Each structure stands twice: as structure tokens, then as C-alpha cells.
Structure 1
Amino acid sequence: MYRYFGELLTRGAGGVLASGYPAAAADSVLPASASLLRHRGYSQAVDPADDPNFFTMVEGFFDKGAAIVEDKLVEDLKTRETAEQKRSRVRGILRIIKPCNHVLSVSFPIKRDSGEWEVIEGYRAQHSQHRTPCKGDVPFGGAKAGVKINPKKYSVSATLPRRPALLGDPCGPGIDVPAPDMSTGEREMSWIADTFATVMGHNDINAHACVTGKPISQGGIHGRISATGRGVFHGIENFINEASYMSQLGMYPGFQDKTFVIQGFGNVGLHSMRYLHRFGARCVGVGELDGSIWNPKGINPKELEDYKLANGTIVGFPDSTPYEGSILEADCDILIPAASEKQLTKSNAHKIKAKIIAEGANGPTTPEADQIFLERNILVIPDMYLNAGGVTVSYFEWLKNLNHVSYGRLTFKYERDSNYHLLMSVQESLERKFGKHGGSVPVVPTSEFQARIAGASEKDIVHSGLAYTMERSARQIMRTANKYDLGLDLRTAAYVNAIEKVFKVYSEAGLIIT
């Protein structure tokens, strides 16, 4: 039932461009960046039909970043080796970082309502175990999972989600920690946690940390549901308020008077829309599979959410008109593809009118489209940074589960009392100095400070931690872009930044023994 595909090192970083030209002739017809990739043995990994699979896209973006950062990694390597030996070591480590380390495939039976039995397949890919448990870089090794099924065609049955929890050793609080994604949520995560705790973790006090995105009553954390959309907002915020980037786009900093369009009105799209609307941007269009709506005066996110809950669709939303054509090509300042991968390709990249593309979905832009956007001076805020809000707050939930106490519980009352004592001390000091005959000099906090005096709730701490994480990561990407003179190529800057961090762990933690 369990089949390991093993270490996929054959998919290393040693591929070269397929071409009928001799090497020198090929370099002469390729752009400088492509020539650099070829010279260093990295593959561009771009499908001629511009329809690569997601893994191939990531490999191509990795290769582009690796080619740029290689010289710097060689220069910073502190070993007693020749320059050629150092370069060989760097390239070897990059080849080890690039492939997916393990893929686990499971098959399990379910009984449908009709009485028919069906075999369902599931997968878990652990890209890297350089830091465990496997979970997006927070700061762990990356992993992803999926079950090959359309949940809309099956009835709710505990039999279905409980089977993947019986993976045994590959999963656990210190090994691999899944989280919700498309077509899954709190319910499914609760099922997995309960099954793991019952079957595998009955002697492990941390068993419920085996998965994140759970309901609050099952060890979840406040702010997790909206985390990805809130992260999208913070990611856009960090770049839209940066004058140096906005000047290159011919725009003024800030959200005021900015228009945006969202493709996909699921969890990510809804919460992204909600926060952008709250801070002054105007949503003029929303697209879904069954249709798109348009209103240049603005669409209210709460009203649209209520309408969809009542009708099961956004089509026919009052005060809006159906949008003919692709909503991706609508006129706006910010485009947020928050649906599925490969929505922006070379076939429509020239038609995009937005000046900022904020990738709320995973892999919405193909490599060829990405290159077209760079040539057109369009700022693409990459998915690997922008939609990391969910996994960041999942990390906070994992820490909460290991600590067995909610954020703020141990300090909430102490901080509140300390703040009030501070105000009383200030008031008494003023009265002694300026009060007439012991008259009162009241010290009254502002409404904003009053809210903070009350003490930080778990949600406040989560929101603050997420905002700080997104800001810190944005600054790292900006510094990397400036350091390597990448201009608006934030995707390559993000990959370079990630490669540098993972390379440092591999080099210094003894993961490479020679």
C-alpha cells in the first residue's frame, strides 16, 4: 500500500538546454541570462508550448536563481580548497537542494453510498528534510500533499479522510506536519488530528501538533482561516508603500484610489479582497469558474460574500454587470490571481492591463509569461512569498500545540494591570507637581491605546506576528533584488534569497560530508 519513490536525485540541476546548435552557436542566439544558465549547466526548464507542469516551473525558476547566486556562494565558502573545488562543491550542494527528496504514494479503499468500492490514491511529497518537521520554510523543509479525488462527487464520510492519517512514520509533530489547502479546511484537519492521536499518538502528548489548520476547540489558532488572504494583503502593502518600486511603475505609493481585480472568490480571494477594501483600494471585478462580475464603482466584499452564501454563485450580484471575456485582462491597477496554477501564460500575458500582479494562488504564472511581464515593466509579487501567510500562521499553531497554552494567556492580565499602574503613576506625578490643592489631573488614554492597554489577545499576537514576518521577508527580497541588480524581478530575488538560506544550512549543519 505504501510505495516510496525514493530520493529523486536523477532530477538534479545538471540538465542542459535541448538544442540542435553547437554550444557556442547556441550561446550566440540566446539572451544573456539563458546563456549564463547554459554555461553553468542549469536548465531553463521552460516547455515550448508554455504548458509546463508546476514542478517543472519551479525547477526553471530555481535554476535561474542558482545561476545568479552561484558566484556569491563560491566567494563566501570558507573552506581550504581551490577555486575550482569550491565551485564544484557549490554546484554539488545546489544539485542536492533542487530535487524532491521523497514522494510517498498511498492507495486506500472507500465504500460509496451506492455500495460500490473504489480505490483512492493519495500522495505526500517531502521536498527537503534539512530542517524537520517538513512544512513550508518557517523555517522548516518543504512538503505538500494531495488526495486524487473530487470531494463534490462524494458524500461526507469519516472513512475517507481517516485513511491518510494512518501513514505511520512519515507523519508526526516532529517529522511532517500537513495543513489545509484546496478543497480542505478545519473539518478535514480535525479528522486527521483525531485519527493520528488515537491510532499513532496515544502515547505522545504533542500528537495534535501533527497537523495545523484545526478548529479552535481541537487546538487550532485564531486567525488561521484568514491568514493566507491577510498575508496577501501584507505582501502587497509592503511593496505598494515602497516609493522606489511605485516610481518605476508610474504610480503613487499607498492603496488609496487603487483598483484591483480578483480571480477566484474562495478563502484566499475573499480575505484578500476584504483587507484591501478595508485599507482604501477598490475592487472592480471578481471572476469565478461560472462567470465574472464587474462594477467600476466598487464591489463590497461582505455583500458579495453574503450573496454567494445565499445563492452559491457570484453571478447576478446586484449593482454589477457580467464581465465578458477573461477577468484577468480587465483594466485595473492590481491583479490578484487566487484560483489555480498556469492562469497567466504567453497567450494572454500581452493583454494584461494591471501594473501589479499579486500571486495569491500557487504557480499562476508560467515562465514565459513571467519574462513578458518583466519586459513590460509589470511588477509580479511572487507566490512563494505572497501566499505564505497560511503556512506562517500554521507555524504559530504548531508552536502553540507544543507549548500547550494559547498565546497571551500567561501574560494577558499582568500586562493589562502593568499598563494601568503606569497611567496611575503618571497621573499621581502630575497631580503632585501641577494639581492645585491636590486637584485631579486625569490621564486618559486614546481609544487606540485603550485597546492595547486591555492586553493582546491571541488573535492580536497572530496578526502582529504575521505582519512582521511578511515585512521582514519583503525587506529581504528587496535587499536581494538590489544586491544582484534584478530590478523588478522579485521572483528571482525570492528564489536567490531562499537558495542562500538553504545552502547555508546544508553547508554548516554537516549535511554534506566529504
Structure 2
Amino acid sequence: MWCRGTAGLARGSPDAPGLLAMVEAFYGRAAAMVEAEAAAGVAGAQWDRLPWVRGLLETIRRCSYVLEVAFPLRRDSGTWEVVRGWRAQHSQHCLPCKGGVRFSSSIGVDEVKALAALMTYKCAVVDLPFGGAMTGVRIDPKKYSEHELEKITRHFTVEMSKKGFIGPGIDVLAPDVSTGEREMSWIADTYTHTLGYRDINAQACVTGKPISQGGIHGRHSATGRGVLHGIENYITNTDYMDCIGLSPGFPGKTFVLQGFGKVGRHTMKYLHQYGARCICVGETDGAIYNPRGIDPKELQDYEQVKFSSEGSAPCCQAGSSGVSCSFQSHGTIVGFPKAEPYDGSILEVPCDILIPAAIEKQLTRENAPRVQAKIIAEAANGPTTPAAHEIFLQRNILVIPDVYVNAGGVTVSFFEWLKNLNHVSYGRLSFKYEWESSYYLLQSVQHSLEQWFGKSRGEIPIIPSPEFQARVTGASEKDIVYSGLAYTMEQSAKQIMAMAARYNLGLDQRTAAYLCALEKVLTVYNEAGFTY
């Protein structure tokens, strides 16, 4: 279950600051450390360098633009209501901006600005040429019909288009909480057939689309796979594992997962494949526990069957048998027969790896002393408050920060954006050529060996290994996407670790990640300057 320790905390209290205050606190820590070194590195300045750098850091910190929209919606019942939403562009140091679309009844402008800032830092950490952005629409999507949600999505898209807050070279949207391929397809179609009708690249105004609408294979599971690689790059590092007293590698490790949504279920699947054992899973309506391990496929099948049998899915309500409920993601894990109900806080379950993959501000000053994990991988945005962060450092717990480990989704979104701009899928121009080249290479080796040893010895067949055969004949767009994601996460981890060593930060990987982001954004402003 969600951490009970935060239920009674007021918004904005010292231990439960708003998400924007949290992001700015982490930013401030890194900015103070980079200030002196960045000041010394500004080239060609004819004035005091320190004020110049401080001005740049303040420019990076603040959100550049916020669009607030309010428009009327006629419900299916005939009643009217006003829908409010925001699109924040935190930084335009690189264009286009990039960020998700969240439907939530509790979202507000400060949270939108905070998530946009996180996107700026996240993109910089993994070397993506985007500024950060975010959209929040204040609705509870469960209370609206599909027709009403489509009207809201399309209307909001038109409003953003009129104000220049969407476009393949301006601002690119993506899925977030309570949005997915369906909503992204509506957005792309609306933009393409309205203000973007003259833009040949209009389809690139949004990522996370269905494959038929220009999406990319591997996007659906990208964030979860990014979490896997993020953990992998640390858990296989002997220096960091020695610091926290854990043996390197996944096999035999136990992990606890908070949140079994789009990110959580794929994270659980991949860690299970790599040999780790999930012992506890928590959702909004309950938690389950099995010290021998929980199989992710069995749990997902149970959740979907349970959901379908209750007839609560939209397709069940509509009486349509042609739509599979297996694509729904709002079932329940409660009652899973191969695990026991768990009534305590799952954040305090003894384990090797704790993965908060749900909502913000779950790890606080109140519960941080009772966390018994060695590694915390922040698959959600902003799950740890600054006070909890300090406690984890004191307790020698390795926290892999959200601005790095949560970056798999936006990385693959970048690949989709490039695919849309290129108007061709990955590998279409090269798969067959590469397969034939590999075949001719093997054939050439075989002929050379036969000539060297003589025909009297008969043929010397060159038989490719199963791994080589699979790589050559079984390559797909998904293979290329997964390879690019793994490489990106690996290189970014090396940069963060190098930054931590440079500033002697020890296990404080969050500050190291923010330092990486700030230095990259500072470099852009220092080299490109400002338009006016």
C-alpha cells in the first residue's frame, strides 16, 4: 500500500514540500557546487564572471513559459463544465521542448512546472536535444466517457496549437499518467488536420503513438527497460556495491515494487528475467507479499482476468466483445492466490532493491529511517523528499535518481521523433543489406579456408552461432531501439559516476546527475548565448 507516513502531512510543510520546492532544492544544491567552477570556465567575459554565472543559473532554474487554458465542455448528459489545463515550457535552451501529458484531478500549475523542470534535467542527463516541458489537465479521466475524453484532448490540442505550444520543432508531447497511445493519436491527428496541415513532419508533434500512426516498437516498455539498465549499471559496479555491502549482479537479489502500472509492470518483468526476485508489490488498493517471489506474468494475467471478470472495463461497459480487456491497466492485484495480503508499508519491507514506481513524495523524513533496502531506484518522478535524501546518504543507501533512471521513456521518444522526421522505420534501408553482407563474409571465409587447406579435405562449412544467426536474421526495429536505449543509459551512468568522483560526492548520485545536467545546459548558453 502507499506509504501511510505521508497521509497526514500538509502540502508545503517542511517534510512534505510541494514537488516544485523539492526540485528547486535539489537544483540549488547542485547549482551552489557548480557555481565557482563554472565561473572560472566562462571564456571571453569582460566583466565579473561570478554574477554572469549566477544569472545563467537563475535563468536555468526558472520556468520560461506557462500556458493556462480554460475551455467549456459539453458532457454527454447535456451539462456544461469548464476544463482547466496547463502547458509549461521550462527551458528552450534546446528546441523542441519535450514533455508528457497528464490527466489528474489534483494537478496544478506548480506540479506542471516542477515536472517540466525535471524533464529539462532528465533530457540533459541522457544527452537528448530537448528542453523540458509538461502538460497537466485537471480532470479525473475515470469520470468521463471516451467521447468526452476525446473532445477534451482535441480541444486542448487546438488551444496549444493556436498559442505555439505544440509542433515537431517547437514542443513535442508524450504520454504520462492516465494518458497513452489513444490520447497521443488524437493529438497527432488534431494537429495534423488543423494548424499543422502544411507541415510534412506534423506527425512528429507527439511521441508514444500507435505503430500505425508513426509510433515505434519498444516505446510502451521503454521506461521500465530504462529502469532495468539504470539499476544494472550500478549493481554491476563493484565499487558501488562494496560501498553498500552488496554483491554485484542481479541473481539472488530481492526487490520491492510500489506501483504496478505502465512502468512498474515492465520493470518487474525485466528484473525477473535478469534473475532478481520480487517479494512484494503495492498498489493503491492493497499490497501482496511472497518471500519466495512473485511471477510478473502470472500477476499481470491475474490482474487482467480479475478486471475483465468484474465487467468494469470500458469495453465491458459498452458491451463490446471485440475489444480485449488485456490492454486495460486499472485492475487489481489484491487477492492474487500465490501471495499473501500485506497490510504494512511496503516501503519498509526488507529487500535489496526498493523501486517506487508510483507517485511523488513517498519517501519522507518520517519513514526514511525505517527503509531497509540497500538500493532505491526512483522509477517515479520525485518520490524522495530532500529530508529523506539526506537520511539515505547518512545511512549509506544508494539512491539511483529519477532524472537518470526514469529517462528510458523520453530516450525512446527521441528515437520515435527521429523516425518521424526521417519518414522511415529503423532498419528498413539496411536490414537486408546487412544480412547479405554477413552471409557473403561467412562465404568468403569458407572459400579462403578451403583454398588454404585444399579441396582434398572436402568442404569446410562455416556455421554461424545461434547468437550470430539471431542477430543477423532476426533483427528488428525493437532490437535497434533496445540497443540504443542500453547504450544511452550506460554512457549516462558513466558520466554521473565520473561527476560524483570529480566532486567527491560518494553515494550522492542525485547531486551528481543534477551537476551533469547543469553543466550541459550552461555550456549551451555559454557557447550559443542569447538571441537578445
State if a TM-score over 0.5 links the two structures. Answer: yes
Matched with 1:144 is 134
- Segments of 5+ residues of structure 1 without an aligned counterpart are 1-45
Give 1:159's match in structure 2, choosing from 151, 166, 171.
151
- Letter of the 1:216 partner, please give it: I
Instruction: Give the corresponding residue for 1:38.
Output: none
Map of 1:35 onto structure 2: none
Q: Which residue of 2 aligns with 1:369?
A: 388
- Partner SS, residue 79 of structure 1: coil
* Equivalent residue runs for 1:65-214 within 5 Å: 65-81=30-46, 85-135=48-98, 136=119, 137=123, 138-157=128-147, 158-166=150-158, 167-168=160-161, 169-214=164-209
Structure 1 residues 249 and 512 mapped into 2: Cα distance closer, same or farther (>3 Å)?
Answer: farther
Supply the distance in 1 between the matched residues of 2:504 and 2:531 (Cα, whole angstroms).
Answer: 30
Q: Does 1:387 align with 2:406?
A: yes
Are the equivalent residues in 2 in contact too, given 1:240–1:246 (CA < 8 A)? yes
In the TM superposition, what are the counterparts of 1:285-300 in structure 2 within 5 Å?
A: 285-300=280-295
State the alpha-carbon separation in 1 of the partners of residues 74 and 432 from structure 2: 52
* Contact in 2 for aligned 1:415/1:455 (Cα 8 Å): no
- 1:49 Cα deviation from its structure 2 partner: 2.9
Match of 1:417 in 2: 436
Q: Percent identity?
A: 63
| Cα drift, residue 437 of structure 1 | 1.7
CA distance in 2, matches of 1:431, 1:284: 56
- Whichever residue aligns with residue 72 of structure 1, its letter is E
Residue 482 (structure 2) pairs with residue 463 (structure 1) = yes
Secondary structure, in 3 states, of the residue corresponding to 2:97? coil
Residue 268 of structure 1, aligned match among 253, 258, 263: 263
Question: How far does residue 512 in structure 1 lie from its aligned partner after superposition?
Answer: 7.4
**Contact persistence 1:336–1:360 (CA under 8 A):** yes
Give, in whole Å, the separation in 2 of the partners of 1:253 and 1:49: 37
CA distance in 2, matches of 1:427, 1:359: 51
8 A Cα contact 1:408 1:457, kept in partner? yes
Please tell me the residue identity of whatever aligns with 1:286. Answer: V
Letter of the 1:371 partner, please give it. Answer: E
1:358 aligns with 2:323: no
Partner of 2:106: none
Q: Write out aligned runs for 1:12-27 (5 A).
A: none
Structure 2 counterpart of 1:237, from 221, 229, 232: 232
The structure, 1 or 2, with the larger RCO (C-alpha pairs under 8 Å, 6+ apart) is 2
Q: Counterparts of 1:123 and 1:438 in 2: how far apart (Å)?
A: 76
Q: In structure 1, what is the Cα distance between the partners aligned to 2:145 and 2:372?
A: 42
Matched position secondary structure for 2:175 = coil
Asked if residue 497 in structure 1 is aligned to residue 487 in structure 2, the reply is no
| Correspondent of 1:319 among 332, 338, 358 | 338
Amino acid at match of 2:384: T
What's the offset of the Cα at 1:435? Answer: 4.6
Distance between the aligned counterparts of 1:58 and 1:485, measured in 2? Answer: 22
Distance 1:219 1:319 in 2: 40
Q: Secondary structure at the match of 2:305?
A: helix
SS of residue matched to 1:196: helix
The number of residue pairs the alignment matches comes to: 466
Tell me if structure 2 keeps the 8 A contact 1:120–1:148: yes
Q: TM-score, normalised by structure 2?
A: 0.86
Query: Which segment is superposed worse, 402-411 or 316-325?
Result: 316-325
What is the CA-CA distance between 1:81 and the residue it aligns to? Answer: 3.7
Superposition TM-score, scaled by structure 1 size: 0.89
Say if 2:242 is the partner of 1:247: yes
Distance 2:343 2:79 in 1: 42
CA contact 1:52–1:366 (8 Å) conserved in 2? yes
- Give the letter for the 1:97 counterpart: I
Whole-Å separation in 2 of the counterparts to 1:214 and 1:435: 57
Task: State the Cα distance separating 1:113 from its structure 2 match.
Answer: 2.5
Cα offsets for 1:301-320 (capped at 9, x unmatched): 01101111111210111220
Structure 2 gaps of 5+ residues are 1-10, 99-118, 307-330
Q: What is the CA–CA distance in structure 2 between the aligned matches of 1:310 and 1:111, rounded to whole Å?
A: 34
Q: Secondary structure at the match of 1:177?
A: strand
Give the letter for the 2:33 counterpart: I
Deviation >2 Å, runs of 4+: 46-49, 79-82
- Cα-Cα RMSD: 1.3
Q: Which amino acid aligns with 1:484?
A: Y
* C-alpha deviation, 1:185, in angstroms: 0.3
**8 Å Cα contact 1:416/1:455 also seen in 2:** no
Corresponding residue SS for 1:343? coil
| Counterpart AA for 1:76 | G
In the alignment, is the contact (CA less than 8 A) between 1:412 and 1:455 conserved in 2? no
